[in-house]
Structure 1
Amino acid sequence: MSGTETARQTTAPGRVSAAGDWLREYASADTDAPSLVVLPHAGGSAAFFGPLARALAPDVRVLVVQYPGRLERRRHRAVEDIRELARHTADAVAARTGGGPVAYFGHSMGALVAYEAALLGEQGLGPRPRALFVSAGRAPVLTHVDPAVLRDDESLIEQVLWLGGTSKAVLDEPDMRELVLPALWADYRALTAYAPDHGARVDCPVTALIGDRDPLVPVEDAARWRDHTTGPFQLQVLPGDHFYLTPRLVHVADTVRTVLTELF
C-alpha cells in the first residue's frame, strides 16, 4: 500500500467534531482583552503558536485553532477544504467568544483559512473581524501548489523539510511520519483545491508579514494581499525564511499588539 493510500484511509473515518474541540488557549488574558484567532500552517498544530500566545498575554486573548486529524485530534476526520475549515473556525470562535469582534492571524495555509473566516464574519456568518494578519502566505489569487509536491510521501516530506518547519530527525522517525503524513496530505489537498472568489474583499485592515528569504512566497506575492481588502494595508518584510516568526517572535507580537490596541 502506498503512503498516499495510507494517508487517505487514515483521514477518511471519524467525525470532524464539535465546536468545543477546535480551540486552544496557552496563556491567560485580561478580562477585556481583544481576541486573536490563530490559524496554523499546513501540517502544523496549535502548540506551535503557544509562544506567540504567551508573548501577547495578558493584553491579547489568543485562541489557536487545532485542525482535526492531528495530535490529540488524530481520530477526527481531517478537512480537505479551506472554506470548510473557515466555517468550523468561525462557528467555534463564535461559541467561545459570544460572537463579539475578533482579529485573525494565519500563517502560510492558515492565512487563507483566516481570510475566508474573516469574509464569513463580514457576511454575518461568524464573528466580525477587526483586523486580519496574514503571515508567510501568497495572496489568494496567487495560491498554487506544485503538482510534483503531491507525487508521493517522499516528495511531500521534501517540501516540508525545504520550508524548514520540521526537522529531518523528526520525520525520519516512522511513528512520527505516521502521525504527520495524514494531516499533511489533507492540508495540501485543501490547498490544491482552493479557488478564491476573485471579487471578494474584506473591509478590515490587513497586515501582511513575510520573511525576506522565504523560499516559497516572494515578497511581491505577499504584497498582493493589498488587493483583497478595501481597508488599510501594510506590509512588513522581516529577516528570515518561511518560518521567520520563530526568531522574530517579539517583533511579531509587538506588531499584533500595536494594531489591536488601535482597533479595540
Structure 2
Amino acid sequence: MTGIPGDSPWFRNYRPAPDAPVRLVCLPHAGGSASFYFPVARELSPRVEVLAVQYPGRQDRRTEPAVTDLEALADRIAAALGPWTDRPYALFGHSMGAVLGFEVARRMEAAGSGPTELFVSGRRAPGVDRADEWHPETDEEVVAEIRKLDGTGDALLDDEETLRMILPALRADYRAVRGYRYRPGPPLDCPVTALTGDRDPRALVEEVRAWEHHTRSGFGLRVLPGGHFYLVDQQAEVLRTVEDRLARTPVAASL
C-alpha cells in the first residue's frame, strides 16, 4: 500500500489522492475483501481518496486468523484508523460492513475523531429483529446463502480449490454477524445515508429506513433496483449519491 500517513495491514489505498479534501473508508461484506472496492477507488480518485479495509484471513492477510467477533473487529479497525484521520473522512459499509461501519463510527466519535458521514448499504438497522432470522452455519449452508444472494459468481463457488480458500473467511464473518448484539446507546453525531436494493431479501426497505433512529443529524434513504448486491450494477448511482453527500459537507466543498 502506498500513501500517507504510512503503510497499514488494514487499509488498501489503490489510488492515492493526496490532494483530495476527504477520504472514504470502505468496509466489505461478509466474505468480502478490500479489492471489492477497487472500482470505487478508480472512479472517485483524485476527487476522493478511497481506503478499502482488508480484514484478516483473506487475500494478502490469509495467513492471519480471521476475527469472529464483530465488536472486536470494530475495535481493531478503529485503532488502525486513527493515523488516517488527519483529514476529514466518511465511512461506507455494505451488508456486514454497514454494521461494522456503525460500530467503528461509535468508537471514533467517542475518541473525538468521528466521520463526517456514515453510508450504510444493504443492511437493516441495528436493533431491528426478525422473527424468521436465520444464519448459515455449515459449509453447505454458507455456499447456498452466497448463491442465493448472488455475492460471487457461480464459477468461483463451483471451483473446489477456490472454495477452500474463501470458506474460512466466510465462516468467520458469518459467525461474527451471528454473534453480534446491538448495544443501545446515543445516536451518532454524524449524518447517516442508507442505500438498499428494492429486491433485497436481507434488507427490506422499512428495515433499512430504521437507520434514521441512529443519528441525531440528517438522514437520507436511497432505494435502487436490484437485490442484495445491487451496488455492483448500480455503481454509478451509488457513487453519485456518495459524492453528492460528500460535496455538501463544508470540509469537502471543493469537490
TM-score (norm 1): 0.87
Superposed, 1:164-175 pairs within 5 Å as 164-175=150-161
Q: How far did 1:130 drift?
A: 0.6
Alignment partners' CA distance in 1, 2:212 and 2:189: 11
Check the 8 A contact 1:165/1:243 in 2, yes or no: yes
2:63 corresponding residue in structure 1: 75
CA 1:230–1:222: 2 relative to 1, 3 Å: same
Taking the aligned partners of 1:99 and 1:176, their CA distance within structure 2 comes to 39
* Alignment-derived partner of residue 133 in structure 1: 119
Percent identical pairs in the alignment equals: 44
Residue pair 1:219, 1:237 contacting (<8 A) in 2 also: yes
Cα separation, partners in 2 of 1:30 and 1:148, compared to 1, 3 Å: closer
Gaps of 5+ in 2: 1-6
**In structure 1, which of residues 188, 198, 201 is the aligned counterpart of residue 187 of structure 2?**
201
The partner residue of 2:144 within 158, 174, 177 is 158
Which whole-Å CA distance do the structure 2 matches of 1:133 and 1:119 have between them? 14
Q: Secondary structure at the match of 1:139?
A: coil
1:108–1:135 CA contact under 8 A, matched in 2: yes
1:101 partner amino acid? P
1:120 — aligned with what?
A: 107
CA offset at residue 32 of structure 1? Answer: 3.7
Tell me the secondary structure at the aligned position of residue 116 of structure 2. Answer: strand
Return the TM-score normalized by structure 2: 0.90
The worse-fitting range, judged by mean Cα deviation, of 184-193 and 141-150 is: 141-150
Alpha-carbon distance in structure 2 between the residues aligned to 1:111 and 1:209? 10
Q: Distance between the aligned counterparts of 2:96 and 2:188, measured in 1?
A: 18
Query: Distance in 2 between the 1:194 and 1:249 partners?
Result: 28
CA contact (8 A) 1:214 1:241 kept: yes
The 5 Å alignment of 1:21-36 reads 21-36=9-24
Shift of 1:67: 0.4
Paired with 2:240 and 2:96, the residues of 1 have a C-alpha distance of: 23
Equivalent residues of 1:100, 1:128 under 8 A apart: no
- Per-residue CA shift, 1:154-189, capped at 9, x if unaligned? 111100110011122111111111111110111011
Aligned residue for 1:89? Answer: 77
Q: Distance in 2 between matches of 1:221 and 1:46?
A: 27
- The residue type equivalent to 1:259 in the other structure is R
Aligned counterpart, 2:52: 64
Shift of 1:148: 5.7
Cα distance in 1 between the residues matched to 2:203 and 2:140 = 22
Contact 2:98 2:119 in 1 (8 A): yes
1:12 corresponds in structure 2 to: none
* Higher mean C-alpha deviation, range 85-94 or range 253-262: 85-94
Q: Does structure 1 conserve the Cα–Cα contact (< 8 Å) formed by 2:197 and 2:226?
A: yes
1: CA distance, partners of 2:72 / 2:15: 27
Structure 1 stretches of 5 or more lacking a match? 1-18
Please list the CA deviations of residues 40-94 of structure 1 after superposition, one character each: whole Å capped at 9, or x if unmatched. 0000011111111111111111000010001111111111111222122122221
Contact 2:56–2:66 at 8 Å: present in 1 too? yes
Equivalent residues of 2:135, 2:178 under 8 A apart: no
Q: For the residues of structure 1 that align with 2:45 and 2:20, how far apart are their CA atoms?
A: 12
Runs of 4+ in 1 over 4 A off after TM superposition: 143-148
SS in 2 for 1:104: strand
Whole-angstrom distance in 1 between the partners of 2:135 and 2:247: 43
Q: Any conservation in 1 of the 2:22–2:87 contact (CA below 8 Å)?
A: no
Q: Which residue of 2 aligns with 1:9?
A: none
Deviation at 1:153, TM superposition (A): 0.6
